[in-house]
Structure 1
């Protein structure tokens, strides 16, 4: 019986799913501070869905796209950096006569569309 996508995964289950040895996943925990599975008694690791997604992304970058550990670290750090909030566009100051002309054009277009 397969686990739900939202279920926690043990290190063994995740390693088997990805076809990686468990020691690789433990090594990645030392290299990627973003990867922090829950650890219970006896250092048993439980990977949350977000951890699973991160491990899959790391695996894809390292083993399929050819990135180095440092390259993946850089990518993940850039992604984790907060993006500056979008700047509101500066208001456009149009003369009143121009605004009235635009309003008249829109009114004509609506009248023509309704007919």
Structure 2
């Protein structure tokens, strides 16, 4: 769980700015994730000001891990969370054999192995343009 160094109690409500700074996620991304993940419901006060509970912050950390570190799509991350397969401590150990992803968590489109050669070719062309 994220450690906040703001002097507030561990169970205190946090603003979107405080959460965004602690997690390294911009506020507009947090607001977008609220739309995409119905289970993420921060308290909203007058004027629409958001206050995140500790369980909201934990869910945001899980979403961030799934999407930005484990490569899930938003749809796949949502399915993994709903299925209970995305526990906050469920980061696989490096020595563990990777499990086959569920159908809901699979990515749409080409695999990484298919895209890497194309990206390398694009990079080479861009470098050639820069050198010209």
Q: Which has the higher helix share?
A: 1
- Equivalent residue in structure 1 for 2:42, among 37, 44, 50: 37
TM-score normalised over the length of structure 2: 0.58
- Equivalent residue in structure 1 for 2:64, among 44, 59, 63: 59
- Equivalent residue in structure 2 for 1:17, among 22, 27, 30: 22
Secondary structure of 1:46's aligned partner: strand
TM-score normalised over the length of structure 1: 0.66
Instruction: Detail structure 1 runs of 4+ shifted over 4 Å in the superposition.
Output: none
* 1:80-113 C-alpha deviation (Å, 9 max, x unpaired): 9xxxxxxxxxxxxxxxxxxxxxxxxxxxxxxxxx
Which structure 1 segments of 5+ residues have no match?
81-115
Question: 1:78 deviation in Å?
Answer: 1.0
In the alignment, which residue of structure 1 is the partner of 2:11? 6
Give me the CA root mean square deviation. 1.4
* Separation in 1, partners of 2:36, 2:24: 20
* 1:25-66 C-alpha deviation (Å, 9 max, x unpaired): 000000000000000000000000110100011011111111
In the alignment, which residue of structure 2 is the partner of 1:77? 82
In the alignment, which residue of structure 2 is the partner of 1:93? none
* Separation in 1, partners of 2:70, 2:10: 25
* Separation in 1, partners of 2:59, 2:9: 17
Secondary structure of 2:8's aligned partner: coil
